[in-house]
Amino acid sequence: MTKSTSLLLATVIAFGMMATTASADIRKGQKTYLKTCKTCHGNGTKGAAMHTQAEWESLFANGGENIVKQHAGSKAEGFFTGKGFENSAQDLRDFLFEYGNDSGNVPSCG
Ligand code: HEC
């Protein structure tokens, strides 16, 4: 194993541990997803797999600017421009990021 590979591995493991400590938020985000997004985007596995982790980062950057824009004019616009999204954006991001389609993780109950 080269030095850079083991460094990469250590980073991946460290991230994995961080994800575990954040799991309360991930579960909260999953709940919000099932309540709010499932009707239009399917179960949690399907929803999170819409994007890679990097894409979720950018969709949720700047208070979720990009994901809010995606819903302008849709029936979900009210949720995205209101308090509901403001309050749950961080948890939703944690859930969707954790199970992004390049994460290798699959939620235990969709
Ligand atoms: C009323 C239906 C509806 C609800 C509820 C809804 N969306 Fe959407 N969503 C849409 C529509 C319509 C679009 C824009 C068209 C498209 O790309 O599918 C969209 C687009 C998106 C996109 C971009 C799609 C892409 O291909 O890049 C993401 C990501 C997304 N929604 C996530 C969510 C999340 C997370 C929630 C819950 C917080 C949610 N949506 C709730 C209807 C909905």
Q: What is the pLDDT of residue 6?
A: 80
Q: What is the pLDDT of residues 41-95, one digit of tens each?
A: 999 999 999 999 999 999 999 999 999 999 999 999 999 999 999 999 999 999 9
Is the separation of the CB atoms in 39 and 98 below 8 Å? no
- Distance, CA 92 to ligand 1 centroid (Å)? 13
Q: What is the pLDDT of residue 21?
A: 53
Distance, CA of 5 to CA of 87 (rounded, Å): 39
Check whether 107 has a pLDDT greater than 90: no
Q: Which amino acid is at 57?
A: E
What's the whole-number average pLDDT of the chain?
89
Q: 77 versus 22: which is more confidently predicted? A: 77
Q: Which residues line ligand 1 (CB under 6 A)?
A: 36-37, 39-41, 50-51, 59, 67, 70-71, 74-76, 92
- Distance, CA 3 to ligand 1 centroid (Å)? 41
Q: What is the pLDDT of residue 108?
A: 74
Check whether 20 has a pLDDT greater than 70: no
Is the separation of the CB atoms in 106 and 65 below 8 Å? no
Q: What is the pLDDT of residue 37?
A: 98
Indicate the pLDDT class of residue 17, thresholds 50, 70 and 90.
low
- Distance, CA 39 to ligand 1 centroid (Å)? 10
